[in-house]
Amino acid sequence: MVLHSIGDRLRSERERLKLSQAALAEYGGVKPLTQHSYEKGSSYPNADYLAKVNDLGIDAMYVITGARAKPSQALPGAEPEMAVLVALQNRGIFPDGEGGGRVSPAGLALLLDYVREVKDNRITKLTKKELQKVVSFAPKDSREWVIQPVALTPYPDGKASHILLVYRKRSPVSVVWKIGPFQGDVPSRIDITTGSELPLRSVGEEDDDELRWQLDLSLDGADSILPQGLELRFNPLPIAPVKAQKIKERPVRIHIGGDVGQTVHGDQINHAPVSFNVGKARK
C-alpha cells in the first residue's frame, strides 16, 4: 500500500517499532497532542523532532519523501536529499515525495520571490532540482506579501463567493495574481498550481489531484484571518543557520604492547587521528 501523506508514513513507522503515540512524542520532545496532529496531517514535524526520532529508528527519509533511506544514507553527513527537504520544511515548503506538497504563507512568499527575482516571473515547475535552488535563495526585496480576499456578487442561491488577490505591497497592478473564485468561505487549503494565475506548476498532469501543490492556511493559523474578510500579510522565512557540532577534546592514555620484550607507552592529548608504528607494522 502506498502512503501518500507524511502523517500516514509517520504513523506506519511508529507502528513498525511498536510504539505508542505518547512514547514517540516523548522521544521526539513534543506533547502527545502534537504527535497526534503530525499523524493526522494537520501539522508537520520539524527538523529537531525528525532528528530525534531518526536516532530512535524511525526512517525520517521515508517519512518525508516516501522512499526508504539507502544504507549509505544512514551515515552522518551522507544525507544531501534529506537535508534539502528539512531545509525546505524550515522555510515553510513541505514536499510530499510524490510530486506535490503543501506550503505555508511564508513558503508561498519564498516561492513567489524566487519566481520574481530568479525566474523573471516565468512559469516555474516545482521540480526537485528547482526546489534545491529555492533552499539557499535569499530574497532581495523585503516588502511584505499580501493575500487580500475580495467578495464577489452572490450566486442566485444567495451564497457568497470570493477571489484572493496575491501581491507585494506597493506593487503595480500588473504583478497582482488572482486565485479562485471560491463559492462560499475561503477554504483552508487552496490549490496554487492549477486554477490560479500564480506562476507555479507541479511536475504532474494538470488533472492529477495527488500531484498538486496547496497553500495550507492552517500551518500559520491564517485560516482564521481570511474568512473574516481581513487581508493576510506575510514574509519568507530566513535561511536557518546550520550549527556545527562542537567536538569535545579529552586526554587519552595509550598503552601499547609491542613485540616480545618491547613496551611502548606514554600520555598524549590527541586532537586528530594519529598513526604510529608497532614493530614493523604501521597502525
Give every CB contact of residue 249 below 8 A, 6+ residues apart in sequence. 269, 271
Is residue 206 domain-resident? yes
Residue 241 is assigned to a structural domain of this protein: no
Does the pLDDT at position 97 exceed 50? Answer: yes
Task: Examine residue 101 and state whether it is found in any structural domain, yes or no.
Answer: no
Among the candidates 38, 64, 79, a domain finishes at 79
Contact assessment for residue 125 and residue 211, using Cβ atoms and an 8 Å cutoff:
no
Q: What is the pTM of this model?
A: 0.59
Q: List all residues 6 or more positions away from 139 whose beta carbon is below 8 Å from its beta carbon.
A: 110, 113, 114, 117, 236
Asked if the model's pLDDT at residue 91 lies above 50, the reply is yes
Answer positive or negative: Cα dihedral of 161, 164, 170, 175. negative
- 129 and 186 both lie in a single domain: yes
Higher-scoring residue by pLDDT: 72, 36 = 36
Whether 276 is in a domain gets the answer: yes
Range of the domain at 264: 252-282
Note whether 60 and 157 are same-domain residues.
Answer: no
For residue 228, what are the CA distances in angstroms to 148, 154, 187, 234?
11, 16, 12, 17
Domain count, the chain: 3
In angstroms, the CA 60 to CA 68 distance is: 9
Does the structure show a pLDDT above 50 at 96? Answer: yes
C-alpha cell of 77? 553527513
